[in-house]
Chains A and B, each alone.
Chain A
């Protein structure tokens, strides 16, 4: 079981990653041109009022002092006050995490549910009609920009068919799911396209492998050959592909949450940037960084579980 020992010490890596991310975003966010106090007070602000706000949020201190304040607050479980929401950023974040989690995991789930059968169909009937159709899908899925795809899906399902809501997020569980179908689908389709292509190639390579010859030489039927031997051996590259693409997914959530007006982290980030709400941007960036480290960690655990040869 010591193949899983990395599970114990890998989370420690989060510490330097978070530290690095906090420094970088701290500096970057504050180098965006514009002044949060001015944005907050609007066009009719007086120099006096601006100075008051700046003092209230500690914006008049040198950068490194601001950063030390930030670290000190972090130790007390606070991320600093949001300029826009007037409450601690951590509280803002907790209300925003759920929609984004649903969006990203929903998208991954849909992508997998689409990609595995499609790739299997395509690989098993290589060169036949089914294969051509699947390849058409995987090329097309990559070609459309997500915001365009989102708008097309809204037109089809919300306007023409009128079965799904155009935007927003529901109250209870069922309502939320109902609202999240289109955003998840929009995010899932391009991902499914990449995954299908990648899985198909892995399955074809595996179908031509020596071990498959040996399995056939034992008389096992093609269904067993495929689902018990080809598929498990094709999963490792797919898991890695998913892990690599998680950055893309998180970035994509910003666009998709804007298109569908989903009150998630992505939308919060956009709003934070426009209002120069430093603390919010900082907080979202750190959550995204954590998420991407955690997801890679999860992918490593999966890889070790799927492939007994892998040691980390």
Chain B
């Protein structure tokens, strides 16, 4: 593996402008994406997963949102310092993005081939013909049968799974190194979901693509990812290699999430849930944001924000009283 991560995020903070000032939605998030690896980003709805990814693309939805701190390094480049024109070259050229709902994220009145070719023409200045030839090649790579004919089809003429493949092809038109996938399989049925996951793994292997994979589903994460980042209330709760996180989660929130997975419950027992609601931007708890719902919370948790400390090799957790080995070492 090459030296250093492809994408390195440090203390990324995204805030929303309110009358009383900036309020962070994503708060001090740090992680590395290694070349050819898949990083799973999990967390409840509203925890800031999508916002983090939109920040990486510098495409925050709405004028009231801004990156208010931190750094995003793509190789040697600092993305937060780029001007808009340079940033456009990064989007689609070096980082591609796919979404949960291909039906709404593709232009309904333009053929798939034209959407891919358009991106290639813009980034590589290719001729119309050459761009279309490459577009057909990309469609072939994502496993669309008869790509020459399908390039002329409109999004609504594809089935659900094929449309998801088409969206992946559109995002990968210019062979970016990094792919951000925001819940790409959530809306699909189980068999199609498995096929799309397989495709992403194949693309990682064949193109050395690095992927940030957002999902609610820890089951999907454990099948595909190399490492896992768990978000809670806009902050990272835990980050580490998949094995460590799944087998020995240290943050009580991660542990709770794992116990909540349908597969985790033995037959005949209740499916566990984490009691309470995730916090909202305007009512963030003090100290550790998880403390109102945490079975292990103590006085410290209410008052002090836990540091994102290393609990094992490459494994970090933000908890005063982490679970598992080493918990006696904590205060």
Contact = CB atoms under 8 A, between A and B. Distances in A.
A, B: real partners? yes
Interface of A: 209-211, 213-221, 224, 228-229, 232-233, 306-309
Given A210-B101, A213-B59, A219 B107 contact: no
A307 B154 CA distance: 10
Contacts of B157: 308
Interface string B88-106: 1111110011010100111
Interface string B145-189: 000000000101100000000010011010000000000000000
Nearest to A236: B109
A194 B276 CA distance: 50
A181 B233 CA distance: 63
B173 A210 contact: no
B59 A216 contact: yes
B37 interface: no
A214 B170 contact: yes
B106 A309 contact: no
B118 interface: yes
Nearest to B53: A217
A232 B107 CA distance: 10
B72 interface: no
Interface in B105-147: 105-110, 118-119, 122-123
B61 to A, nearest CB: 7
A263 B97 CA distance: 61
Contacts of A219: 87-93, 119, 122-123
A309 B156 contact: yes
Contact of A211 (B93, B97, B108, B123): B108
Contacts of B106: 211, 214
> Chain A interface secondary structure, helix, strand, loop or mixed?
helix
B110 A216 contact: no
Contacts of A307: 108-109
B170 A308 contact: no
21 contacts: A211-B107, A213-B99, A216-B59, A216-B91, A217-B59, A217-B91, A217-B92, A217-B97, A219-B89, A219-B91, A220-B92, A220-B118, A221-B122, A224-B122, A228-B118, A229-B107, A307-B108, A307-B109, A308-B109, A309-B108, A309-B156
A220 B92 CA distance: 8
Nearest to A217: B97
- Which of B96, B108, B156 counts the most chain A CB atoms within 10 A? B108
Contacts of B107: 211, 215, 229, 233
Interface of B: 57, 59, 61, 87-93, 96-97, 99, 101, 104-110, 118-119, 122-123, 154, 156-157, 167, 170-171, 173
Nearest to B87: A219
Contacts of B101: 210
A210 B99 contact: yes
Contacts of A233: 107-109
Contacts of B90: 219
Contact of A214 (B87, B97, B154, B156): B97
A309 B93 CA distance: 30
Given A220-B119, A308-B156, A308-B157, 12 more contacts: A210-B101, A210-B105, A213-B61, A214-B97, A214-B99, A215-B107, A218-B96, A218-B170, A220-B88, A229-B107, A229-B110, A309-B108
Nearest to A233: B109
Contacts of A306: 109
Nearest to A208: B61
A220 B88 CA distance: 7
B118 to A, nearest CB: 7
A218 B105 contact: no
Nearest to A307: B109
A220 B104 contact: no
Nearest to A218: B92
Contacts of A308: 108-109, 154, 156-157
A229 B170 CA distance: 15
A62 to B, nearest CB: 56
A169 to B, nearest CB: 41
A209 B104 contact: yes
Contacts of B93: 219
A220 B109 contact: no
Contacts of B105: 210-211, 213-214
A307 B155 CA distance: 12
Q: Which one of B109, B122, B157, B170 has the highest number of Cβ atoms from chain A below 10 Å of its Cβ? A: B109
A233 B57 CA distance: 25
A286 B15 CA distance: 64
Contacts of A213: 59, 61, 99, 105
Given A217-B91, A232-B109, A210 B97 contact: no
What 6 A-B pairs come out closest when comparing CB atoms? A219-B92, A219-B91, A218-B92, A210-B104, A217-B97, A214-B105
Contacts of B97: 214, 217
A19 to B, nearest CB: 38
Nearest to B57: A217
Nearest to A308: B154
Contacts of B89: 219
Contacts of A216: 59, 91
A229 B97 CA distance: 18
Contacts of A220: 88, 92, 118-119, 122
Contacts of A309: 108-109, 154, 156
Given A214-B99, A216-B91, A217-B57, A224 B118 contact: yes
Contacts of A211: 104-108
Contacts of B156: 308-309
A210 B105 CA distance: 5
A308 B57 CA distance: 31
